[in-house]
Amino acid sequence: MNILIINGHQKTPFATGKLNRTMVDEMKKFFARKKKNQIKTTVVARGYNPETERKKFKWADVIIFQFPVFWFSVPAILQQYMQDVYAYGDFYKTEGKPYGQGGLLIGKAYMFSSTWNSPADAFGHDFWKGIPTPDHVLVSLHKAQQFIGLTGLPCFSCHNVVKDPHIKEYIAGLKRHLTAVFGK
């Protein structure tokens, strides 16, 4: 399997990116255990060439986005990455297709792995009343991937990462999630 892992962290004084780097490193270790897996990574904050990134998407069977949730979405640099990389004619076409059905990356899958300052048990209550899961918050991001033809895999999220971090638990949870989604 060809796996592209995109680290979409954007450094701020409040968030240095250590947890997102750790999660990417754990993913790389998980997939490297199988000799047949090939892994490529992109760290958006280090810069990228849009054409090279398009080639990585076309090469990949699975694209995993690792990112912190900033203001209920991806960091600005990851949004810019998508705008730069998701090119008409390479990733989607609209002629003769109903809206949203012109994706050209059919047969490929994506997964979001996100970090949140929100506690997991807050979803569906108080501030998040009527919004039961992180996936409901990120619906526009899911639709963007669907628009280019990708199929969604179950997503993973870490919560309360600033106020009450539990790094060992996050890593163990990620390993369980990857095993459930991709097998041992």
Q: How far is CA 128 from CA 62, 63, 112, 137, 157, in A?
A: 30, 28, 20, 9, 16
Q: Are 15 and 81 in contact (CB under 8 A)?
A: no
Counting Cα atoms < 13 Å in the Cβ hemisphere of 173 gives 15
Which tens digits make up the pLDDT trace of 58-69?
999 999 999 999
pLDDT at 164: 85
Question: Residue 110 carries which DSSP code?
Answer: E
Which tens digits make up the pLDDT trace of 36-45?
999 999 999 9
pLDDT at 14: 76
Which tens digits make up the pLDDT trace of 103-140?
999 999 999 999 998 888 888 888 888 888 888 889 99
pLDDT at 66: 98
Q: How far is CA 120 from CA 11, 95, 131, 167, in A?
A: 23, 42, 12, 15
Taking alpha carbons only, the member of 117, 115, 7, 111 closest to residue 61 is: 111
What's the full length of the chain, in residues? 184
pLDDT at 176: 97
At residue 70's C-alpha, the angle toward residues 129 and 108, to 5°, is: 90
Taking alpha carbons only, the member of 61, 60, 51 closest to residue 89 is: 51
Output the CATH code of domain 2-182.
3.40.50.360
